[in-house]
A and B are shown apart, each in its own frame.
Chain A
Amino acid sequence: SYVLTQPPSVSVAPGKTASITCGGNNIGSKSVHWYQQKPGQAPVVVIYYDTDRPSGIPERFSGSNSGNTATLTITRVEAGDEADYFCHVWDRSDHAMVFGGGTKLTVL
């Protein structure tokens, strides 16, 4: 089965840039979606189809996907960005959705 690997935690100072990676075999050939989840809340999509940003999501959030790594980048990080972030793909060969283990973003 397809596996997505995320770092358990990332820390960043306010105003700096955070990069959260999602590794998978040839993930560049798949569409990657990213979700933000704050405590006690349902996930919210912040990037879908690798690079698209839903309406209402700040331009500070961007995504890229190539080779074996997809990346969620958050520029000018704010305290309100502190949350868990999950990557997600559809694996056609296994006919299954797969989530990464999640990354806890801490704003110092």
Chain B
Amino acid sequence: QVQLVQSGAEVKKPGASVKVSCKVSGYPLPELSIHWVRQAPGKGLEWMGGFDPKDEETIYAQKFQGRVTITEDTATDTAYMELRSLRTEDTAVYYCASDAGASGYDLTYWGQGSLVTVSS
């Protein structure tokens, strides 16, 4: 069973950067497609980017291009999402999620979420 455990809540000032981690257990990270999804307070789910298993590359939502970087450390089975130039509207719960390990585009497993608050 895949488990995704995320880092804790963060408070940042506008203009700063945040890096959220997602520790994977129960399955080799290289065999999963990890994606990052955020949810602003009271709003819906918004995809930020992740690994495309068919093209074998990390892709980003156009909205976040140039401001977000998704990386993986296979030595520690940990995925990371860094968001730069934070704005107050980036206040949200950030989730990592993965497919079921069959190179699909489902999001079967989810982390518990990491609250990022951007405030001056």
Out of A33, A95, A102, name the residue touching B106 (CB < 8 Å). A33
Find out whether the CB atom of A99 lies under 8 angstroms from the CB atom of B110. Answer: no
Size bracket, chain A contacts: 20 to 34
Find out whether the CB atom of B110 lies under 8 angstroms from the CB atom of A97. Answer: no
Find out whether the CB atom of A42 lies under 8 angstroms from the CB atom of B113. Answer: yes
**Within residues 44 to 96 of chain A, which ones have a CB less than 8 A from any CB in chain B?**
44-45, 48-49, 54, 86, 88-90, 95-96
Known: A42-B113, A97-B50. A48 touches B106 (CB 8 A): yes
B65 to chain A, nearest CB (A): 11
Find out whether the CB atom of B108 lies under 8 angstroms from the CB atom of A97. Answer: no
Find out whether the CB atom of A102 lies under 8 angstroms from the CB atom of B44. Answer: yes
Q: Is A14 an interface residue (CB 8 A)?
A: no
B117 to chain A, nearest CB (A): 16
Chain B 49-73: CB-based contact to A (< 8 A → 1; otherwise 0)? 0101001000101100000000000
Shortest beta-carbon contacts, A-B, top 7: A90-B105, A97-B47, A42-B110, A48-B106, A99-B45, A102-B44, A101-B44
Extra pairs beyond A48-B100, A97-B50 (8, CB < 8 Å): A31-B105, A49-B104, A90-B105, A95-B52, A96-B47, A97-B47, A99-B45, A99-B46
Interface residues of A (CB under 8 A from B): 1, 31, 33, 35, 42-45, 48-49, 54, 86, 88-90, 95-102
16 contacts between A and B (CB under 8 A): A31-B106, A33-B107, A35-B45, A42-B95, A42-B113, A43-B95, A43-B107, A45-B108, A88-B107, A95-B59, A96-B59, A97-B37, A97-B47, A97-B61, A97-B107, A99-B37
